[in-house]
Amino acid sequence: MEGSAIKISGKQKSAFLNKVKELLPDGGNLSACLTCGMCASGCPATGMFDMDPRKFLRMAALGLDDEILKTPWVWACTMCQRCIYVCPMKIDVPQLIYNARASWPRDERPKGIRGSCDAAAKVDSGSAMGLTGEMFTDTVVELLEEVQEEQEGFDKLQAPIDKKGAHFFVNQNSREPQMEEDEMVPLWKIFHTAGVDWTYGSRGWAAENYCMFLADDEAWEKNVRLKSDMVKELGCKVWLNTE
């Protein structure tokens, strides 16, 4: 892949250099990166903003902190970890990217991700779309009644909420109850057919967590604890996040 050359001038800062060493095996041996390009070949963000995982890692290893902290490419990364899977040395590039994101002033991070994270913090559901537990419950109850009445063979279908002792605690992406409520039904039918013991929660039901992508550790933890507290309250054995 063609791209601009990395220019090095003068003594470079090394804040990211130590982070690179922590991510490499064998005590931080920088030669562990083979520069093979496997990470770049499988990355969906390769080529965006003239960047790819291999180039990003080498810039970090060379101490080019200023360039790393300015590139918007860190927000193009999906954090899918495909680069780790294909890397022969299993270098955790996404963690390095997360560190770069966290270095941005919060008010300069992408408005959409930031807004979704902030919206989730304002409701008891953790929903990035601002849906409350009451709104979610109303949607589920109305949709379930409709399916039971209109779809043959599913008059006994259930979509329990706050069922104590259920085996699975299930999260749902907020987009479905907000915009595509019918998309929730196939999962209910699968659980019904398989005889799965499950439940939603009236709180902490939202599956998404944009605070993770925003690299806001405090908000990320708050969102996760909202869900985990509900799992404990209901006494569920398995937490199933559909994301």
Taking only the tens place, the pLDDT of each residue in 69-103 is 889 999 999 989 999 899 988 888 888 889 899 98
pLDDT at residue number 5 = 57
4 assigned to some structural domain: no
In DSSP notation, 117-179 reads HHHHHTSTT--TT---HHHHHHHHHHHHHHHHHHSTT-TT----BS-TT-SEEEEB-THHHHH
Same structural domain, 70 and 170:
no
Q: Which residues contact 182 (CB under 8 A, 6 or more apart)?
A: 143
Same structural domain, 209 and 134:
yes
Q: Are 39 and 93 in contact (CB under 8 A)?
A: yes
Same structural domain, 197 and 221:
yes
pLDDT at residue number 29 = 52
pLDDT at residue number 188 = 98
Residue 209: how many CB atoms within 10 A of its CB? 24
Same structural domain, 97 and 185:
no
6 assigned to some structural domain: no
pLDDT at residue number 96 = 85
Residue 60: how many CB atoms within 10 A of its CB? 25
Q: What gap in Å lies between CA 50 and CA 198, rounded to an integer?
A: 46
pLDDT at residue number 1 = 44
7 assigned to some structural domain: no
Q: Residue 4: exposed, middle, or buried by beta-carbon count in 10 A (0-12, 13-18, 19+)?
A: exposed
- Domains identified in the chain, total number: 2
pLDDT at residue number 7 = 55
Q: Are 206 and 125 in contact (CB under 8 A)?
A: yes
pLDDT at residue number 8 = 47
| CA distance readout (Å), 221 to 27, 119, 125, 157 | 29, 15, 14, 34
Q: Residue 241: exposed, middle, or buried by beta-carbon count in 10 A (0-12, 13-18, 19+)?
A: middle
Q: What gap in Å lies between CA 218 and CA 215, rounded to an integer?
A: 9
- What pTM did the predictor assign? 0.81
88 assigned to some structural domain: yes
Q: Which ranges of the chain have pLDDT less than 50?
A: 1, 8, 10-11
Same structural domain, 174 and 196:
yes
Q: What's the N-to-C CA distance of the chain in angstroms?
A: 32
109 assigned to some structural domain: no
Q: For residue 67, what are the domain limits? A: 15-104
Nearest to 121 by CA among 137, 139, 106, 99: 106
